[in-house]
Structure 1
Amino acid sequence: MQFIEVTELAGVRSAVIRFRKPGTGLEFLLFPMIHLGEAGFYQEVAAQLRRRCGLVIAEGVGEGSAGARRACGVLRAAGRHEQLGLVVQDIDFDTLGVPVVCPDMGGEEFEKGFRRLPLRERAVLATVVPAVTAGMRLFGTRRYLARHLATEDLLSDAEEAAADFWPGLDDLVMRRRDRLLVRALTDYHRASADRPGSFTIGVVYGAEHMRAAADALVGLGYHAADADWVTVFLLDRPDGSGQ
């Protein structure tokens, strides 16, 4: 199953996947997110959430975490790179007109976990993030960003290597937050599966978290019924440049 596809013609695309279960009107709509894209991508996601969903489950580490801010430094630097024509994820959940819940970590919890990372990982992170941030400001292009964005239900070799190199960070950023997401999906399934009529719950999380979401839904008896592709960004800007 593909969550994010990268091709020369279509650029970077996100698969909005609908999960259904026979005998129930409850369905889940997965929105795999890339946190840096064209403004139109986030506008389209927001429009679909308003039109198709009665509830939204959204990721978002709570405020107050310096660790989360440092981890997002590369994205924010790229978002300020005007030549890319991209923005950091921009969805105003407060104005959707749809109830939104966030089962993600609170800022203090994430910061505590960040401080408990192995010293080696924190030291390397403190070195790598500023270097990559500076490189993005100077040399970053859309094609460079797209190189490793393709995401499927199975881990790539590069992702497995990264998880092995950053075991503490992988547990904090991925595994622990995956468990919170799976718990939320399970709770809403149990609470809403027998409600009369149809009801759609949108799940707006980073694409890598969708593996855990899809696995959990399959375990609860759902299946991927269909998918629509939404363009995150093209590899070249409309002027034909790769910036």
Structure 2
Amino acid sequence: MRLAEWSETGYRTSVRVFQRPAGGLRWVVIPTIHMGHPDYYWAIWQRLRSCQAVIAEQYDGPSSTGYAYVTAMRLTRQRAGRELVHQDIDYGALGVPIIFPDAHTAPPPEEDRRMPDVGWADVVVHTPALALQMALSGRDDWIVKDSLNIDDTTEFEPMPGEKIGPNGRTERDDLLIGAIREIDTAFAVEDIEVAIVFGAAHMPLVVRELTGRLGHSTAAAEAWLTAIDFDEPPYLRKPSLDGWMDW
């Protein structure tokens, strides 16, 4: 089952609904990337409006990782970077319960959902290294050189600093799966939708949990969402210096 895919024209992620054959609780699985077009995050937010609860990643605020990537892409004049923004989905505006199972792994945002100081420090540390990598890889081609097709069978190595527990999962994945199991047990027969909005690398494990131990199957495959689009006229690929960093 394909969950996210790269191509020569860009990057897109799926929206899939899982439910048991007998009905009841529906899981809306939305893999994400931490940088993309504003319309991409707007489409995700709009889809979440029909859900009665959301399980989301870390905290209700902008992504420092996405900010670092977008900044580095613009500094190195990557053709896709001119219109990209960092992930920033306003979960609080949905007015439904939001569960952040791995909240303790990231500091809470400042007032008005601003990125915390630790997040800005992360941007300052990682942006130069990312920009150097992109510059050495070659302008316009950096992203398409990374193959990141993700299926439900895809396995990922832990991120630097993360450790694998006795059950073969990282702490963050353990917390995510624990939240899913708890909600699935408590609301199994309810006619509600609960969304899972996490980075795409976490979603193969989520899908295997839903279709394996919890007994769900794919109830619907909704429209794919385009996060990054390379298909633009050549004259738009290298914006003018005047105002090109005003984002």
TM-score (norm 1): 0.72
Q: What is aligned with 2:225?
A: 230
- Quote the offset at 1:224 in angstroms: 1.7
1:99 positional shift: 2.2
Residue of structure 1 in register with 2:56 after alignment: 58
**How many angstroms apart in 1 are the aligned matches of 2:59 and 2:91?**
14
Alignment of 1:61-140 (within 5 A): 74-75=68-69, 77-78=71-72, 81=75, 84=81, 85-107=83-105, 130-136=128-134
Match for 1:42: what amino acid? Answer: Y
1:98-122 Cα distance to aligned partner (Å, 9 max, x none): 321111140479xxxxxxxxxxxxx
- For residue 62 of structure 1, report the CA deviation from its aligned partner: 8.9
Give 1:144-155 correspondences, 5 Å limit: 144-146=142-144, 147-155=146-154
Report the more deviating stretch, 210-219 or 147-156.
Answer: 147-156
Q: Hey, what does 2:38 align to over in structure 1?
A: 39
Cα distance change of structure 1 residues 143 and 29 upon mapping to structure 2, 3 Å threshold: farther
Structure 1, 96-105 or 71-80: larger mean CA deviation: 71-80
Mapped to 2, the partners of 1:154 and 1:240 lie a distance apart of 39
Q: Is 1:181 matched up with 2:181?
A: no
CA RMSD between the two structures: 3.4
**Counterpart residue type for residue 8 of structure 1:** E
Q: Which amino acid aligns with 2:129?
A: A
Q: What's the TM-score, normalizing by structure 2?
A: 0.71
The alpha-carbon deviation at position 97 of structure 1 amounts to: 2.6
Moved more, 138-147 or 207-216: 138-147
Q: Which stretches in structure 1 are left out of the alignment for 5+ residues?
A: 110-126
Preserved CA contact (<8 Å) 1:73 1:133:
no
Label 1:181 to 1:138 Cα distance change in 2 as closer, same or farther (>3 A): same
Aligned-partner SS, 2:203 = helix
User: Residue type matched to 1:178 in 2?
Assistant: D
Unaligned runs of 5+ in 2: 108-124, 239-247
| In 2, Cα distance between equivalents of 1:134 and 1:43 | 31
Letter in 2 for 1:225: A
**Structure 1: distance between partners of 2:67 and 2:163:** 17
Cα distance in structure 2, aligned partners of 1:37 and 1:80: 13
Q: Percent identity of the aligned residues?
A: 32
| Residue among 200, 214, 219 paired with 1:220 | 214
Q: Go from structure 1 to structure 2 and tell me whether the alpha carbon gap of 1:239 and 1:181 turns closer, same or farther (over 3 Å shift).
A: same
Amino acid at match of 1:189: D
Which structure shows the bigger proportion of residues in helix conformation?
A: 1
Q: 1:43, CA displacement in angstroms?
A: 0.4
